Structure 1
Amino acid sequence: MAADWKCAVNQVTNCVQPETFVVKMDDSETDHREEPGAAQYGNFRNYYTFHPPEARTSLLPPGLLLELLEKHGGEQEALLALDVGCNTGELSIALYNHLLQPEGCSEPLKYVHFMCCDIDPDLITRAQIANPYTDAITFSTLDITDVSSLGTLCNFLERFGRSSFHIGFCMSITMWIHLNHGDNGLTDFLNRLKTLCDYLLIEPQPWKCYRSAARRLRKLGRQDFDHFHTLSIRGDMEKEITEIMTKDGSSELIHRFGTTSWDRSLLLFKIRRPTELSV
């Protein structure tokens, strides 16, 4: 499946027009409107009340991401970012501001554009309403685990004449992909992001969070995650995700940024393209 994405991205000029992709949920899956602990896909309504954006951005050295990305792209090229699982958008906006004008830089960048997506249409609606940068940040409802979502992403890239984003943000999303789609789903997800992004900043959830998420569902009388008891990728999830990312030299871990107050690190990977692998 990852190969299909890579092929499609390489043919970006033939992209279809964008659509909105929504994963339909039955009534039992929307209980998180009243019970936040029952958010099966991590789509908590008040997520940033407990995980403020500045707790992540404060770990990123001023100007480091911008320096890396500017070396990778052209000076006048628009800097493109993909934020997967953006929830209501507060962190997306904080990351946008972090890239737009890092601390110590007197002049802001002129060309920074974000594509931000989430599986929950209600969260995306809230993000769209509160978006202060409508010309630079796009919020879209889509399920990135569904290959058909490539239409929206491909169309966005086509606007700027690119086949990949300069950087992708995957902040506390990997666990929800893993629990709902299994080991293969997690691996496919990360491999797809490699085809779409030149750099990836990933915040993996530790294994204790998996146990807590499953326990919350059981406490609420909900059906357990389909894959929780059959996962073979488990334990040190930071190590496991790093191994998936760096397998066969497809990317390298170039920075590990601190630890948040909720005990998670930010891992920055540089993706290596086939031309680089053959050198």
Structure 2
Amino acid sequence: MPAVPVHGNFRRYYGMRSARAAARASHAEPGVPLPRDNVDERVVSLLSWLSQHGAEVRRIERILDIGCNAAKPLLELCQLLPNAPKYVLGVDIDAELVAQARVALRQAWCERQPRVTAATVDAMQYFPACFSSLFGPLPFSPAGTETLPTYVHFVQGDWPRMEADPEGYDLILCLAVTKWIHLNQGDDGLILCLYQMASQVRPGGIVAMEIQPWRSYEQARSLSKELRASHAQLRIQPDDIEWIAERLGLQSLGTIGQGTGHGT
């Protein structure tokens, strides 16, 4: 039986979000951008924002995803960025979700969309989705080649307390995670997380945070008596996160997009 997801480590998280996104799509106003081809709506919003602000940010070569879960948005982003990144790290506190992310990486490698350039069209390398079920997954490319599986890595750990990477990152994703760090590690843990992001993002890089509202804390605290006790001790609220981040050296570039979320 799965453990209670006190860290936000939901097993069917993306299914919950997709259902909400589909419901929003059926009631959308004209002109409101919607997710496409089942791509996570946060990825769609981020790619749109990057296309409009490309001159303001550095090329994305190194990506960190904090609380990556089974890595659906991260893998979609890797495949949809105009230029493939050189190093991608997904971190999650749940070892089972890290294992799922590794399976998803292999599946993404098998089903990757061909990259078309002026010099070459690699459509002949495209592997039909059913083949991995019929014949097993494709082997990964040799180490050292700059293709999807070789530059993506997943590790299990409590990221704010992990050793910092001295090379830093051009893009740090923290999607629907701040609440869980806050509830489990208190105000000090949240500040440590923000500090680590501010210290590990490269100059000209981006920290993309999806900050959960205070009302969703009320729902989450019911998962355990420890979360209820921690919730009662919190003094920082989600509305404080932006100004704390600014005081730690991050500059707000505004809202990337508005999504549906799932109270998680």
TM-score by length of 2: 0.68
For residues 167-217 of structure 1, the C-alpha deviation after alignment (integer angstroms, 9 at most, x for no partner) is 1000000000000111111011110111111320000000011000112x2
Unaligned runs of 5+ in 2: 19-38, 110-147
Q: Which has the larger radius of gyration?
A: 2
8 A contact 2:49–2:256 mirrored in 1: no
Aligned to 1:204: 211
1:56 matched to 2:56: no
Aligned to 1:130: 104
- Give the CA RMSD over aligned residues: 2.5
Aligned to 1:166: 170
Q: How far 1:144 moved relative to its partner?
A: 0.9
Q: How far 1:110 moved relative to its partner?
A: 4.5
Q: How far 1:70 moved relative to its partner?
A: 8.3
For residues 208-232 of structure 1, the C-alpha deviation after alignment (integer angstroms, 9 at most, x for no partner) is 11000112x25xxx54444110101
8 A contact 1:83–1:169 mirrored in 2: yes
**1:49-198 map, 5 Å:** 49-52=15-18, 54-62=40-48, 64=50, 68=54, 71-72=57-58, 79-99=61-81, 101=82, 109-131=83-105, 132=109, 133-146=148-161, 149-150=162-163, 154=165, 163-198=167-202
Aligned to 1:233: 236
8 A contact 2:195–2:245 mirrored in 1: yes
Moved more, 126-135 or 202-211: 126-135
Q: Which amino acid aligns with 1:72?
A: R
SS in 2 for 1:138: strand
Aligned length in residues:
199
Rounded to whole Å, the distance in 2 between the matches of 1:225 and 1:145 is 22
8 A contact 1:69–1:166 mirrored in 2: no
Aligned to 2:35: none
TM-score by length of 1: 0.64
Unaligned runs of 5+ in 1: 1-30, 102-108, 158-162, 265-279
Structure 1 pair 66/169, CA: closer, same or farther in 2 (3 Å)?
farther
Structure 1 runs of 4+ off > 4 angstroms?
A: none
Q: How far 1:97 moved relative to its partner?
A: 2.3
Q: Which amino acid aligns with 1:54?
A: D
Rounded to whole Å, the distance in 2 between the matches of 1:69 and 1:166 is 14
